[in-house]
A = this chain, B = another copy of it.
Amino acid sequence: MLINHEDIESMPHLYRVAFINSLSGFKSANLVGTADKKGLTNLSIVSSCTHIGAHPPLVAMIIRPHSVERHTLENILATSFYTLNQVHAGIYRPSHQTSARYPKEVSEFAAVGLTEAWRQDFAAPYVKESKISLGMALREHHHLSINGTELLIGEIMQVQLPSECLSQDGFVDIEKAETVALSGLDSYHRSQRLARLSYAKPDAPLSEIE
């Protein structure tokens, strides 16, 4: 079926939000851990984390300043540090619960039953239950005037991961860590590998990387 721009314009608000959120494909699911200058922690699930480069090692994310993510945004702008913690199949329900609109003085860690983990050398809280997590330093901040969202680009300062997930060529097997994929606003998925494919060249067939 074909849905055109006028059809989208006339969709009821929540229907449209669910519909448009489904269209970009599968999304990453990460918990963003932050703290304010007094040390009060905040945790929120985001689906917009995107790889943007390896030299330097960068991850971008989009934050909506009028959503539940606003405390996250305030903390990152105040401290410049945050953590990204991959959501896996064992914690997807409490992770989703962080999207509830808790008051500023409530830490989502305690509210949803996830555990703060601090490392001596890093100024933002990790999620103890996560298997793959990144310590991030804010590097660039763009205001996207078209819809009032904020694009934050951070540099990866440290990585925690299970050693059995790290392959000889640098690939990290996030499926082995049971990392979930998100679709739409609320649909959580396990994955099942089809294949890793070789670097594509114009005149050579693809092969599978074992």
Contact = CB atoms under 8 A, between A and B. Distances in A.
A100 B206 CA distance: 10
Q: Is the interface on chain A under 10, 10 to 19, 20 to 34, or 35 or more residues?
A: 35 or more
A171 B200 contact: no
Interface in A135-182: 139-140, 142, 144-147, 149, 151, 153, 156-163, 166-167, 169-175, 179-182
Interface of A: 1-5, 8, 11, 13-30, 47-60, 62, 64, 84, 86-87, 89, 92-93, 96-102, 106, 111, 132, 134, 139-140, 142, 144-147, 149, 151, 153, 156-163, 166-167, 169-175, 179-202, 206, 209
A1 B166 contact: yes
Contacts of A160: 1-3
B172 A56 contact: no
